[in-house]
Amino acid sequence: MSDEKPAEKQGPDKAVEQPATEQSPENAPEALGEPGLEVRAVGERHGMFGVKGSGDTSGYGGLVAPVVLPGAAQRPYGGWFDAVADKLDPLIEQVVIHRGEITFHVHRDNLVAVMKLLRDDAALRFEFLSGVNGVHYPGDAGRELHAVYHLASYTWNRRIRVETSAPDADPHVPSVVAVYPAADWHERETWDMFGLQFDGHPALTRILMPDDWPGHPQRKDYPLGGIPVEYKGATVPPPDQRRSYN
């Protein structure tokens, strides 16, 4: 008879004890990033969606939360982040590293030059643009409208973001369709939803809303109104006419 002990059971049935971690609420300033990361306050949100002039039907009318953004990171950034930053250094305003992801903030006047460099430089080779997003921060004075570009390098297996901004009073940024043709419909959607004008776009027209639709529905100052919707003989009223929990 063997005195050997049976092998320890492995696989999904084997319970693995995980160290306990203390987590902060997702929207708390201290939960925005790594320990010691500075944050920048750009306003305060009242209610669930921050809209004004419409009935609050969410049940969170008394909610007050700060609107904060991650602050600038300091060198060394670590790993290949520094190598990319060295190439872009004269053209970037600040670098933000949040949850292990890097974003290069650039002035809109330098946007096209940055995108060409990222695409064409042999040490960078960010060949693929996967999307363009708009963001509206009403409290970020002079930078209320942001455009965020998501880039990937198949050559080096890397992903980054490039972010630029424009004021509400002058909502213009250059189009990057000539550099990344995939930006075509993404820029149209960002214009449709946020009102950012992409100068040089070949056909900047609405892509989701009707051509005669007033305003840009994903801006924070867009009213929470709507149109009634018929469903199997019943009518659902627009959000601002539903029951308020205030």
Q: Are 164 and 172 in contact (CB under 8 A)?
A: no
Q: Which is the CATH superfamily of the domain at 72-218? A: NADH:ubiquinone oxidoreductase Nqo5 subunit (3.30.460.80)
What are the tens digits of pLDDT across the range 22-52?
A: 444 444 444 444 555 688 888 888 776 666 6
Go through the chain and tell me how many residues it has: 246
What pLDDT sits at residue 59? 64
Q: Are 69 and 42 in contact (CB under 8 A)?
A: yes
Q: 158 has which bridge partners?
A: 153
What are the tens digits of pLDDT across the range 190-227?
A: 999 999 999 999 999 999 999 998 899 999 888 776 66
Provide the 3-class DSSP secondary structure of residue 183: helix
Place of tokens 């059971």: 9
Residue 34 is inside which H or E element, if any?
A: none
CA dihedral 35, 37, 43, 45 (to 10 degrees): -30
What pLDDT sits at residue 66? 85
pTM of the predicted protein model: 0.77
Place of tokens 């995980």: 18
Q: Low-confidence residues of the chain, pLDDT below 50? A: 2, 4-33
Q: Are 200 and 207 in contact (CB under 8 A)?
A: no
Domain locations in the chain? 28-71, 72-218
Between CA 181 and CA 119 the distance in angstroms is: 12
**What number of other Cβ atoms are within 10 A of residue 14's Cβ?**
8
Own/partner pairs, 57-60, CB within 8 angstroms, 24+ separation: 57/224, 57/239, 57/240, 57/242, 57/243, 57/244, 57/245, 58/245, 59/245
Residue 21 is inside which H or E element, if any?
A: none
Between CA 223 and CA 70 the distance in angstroms is: 28
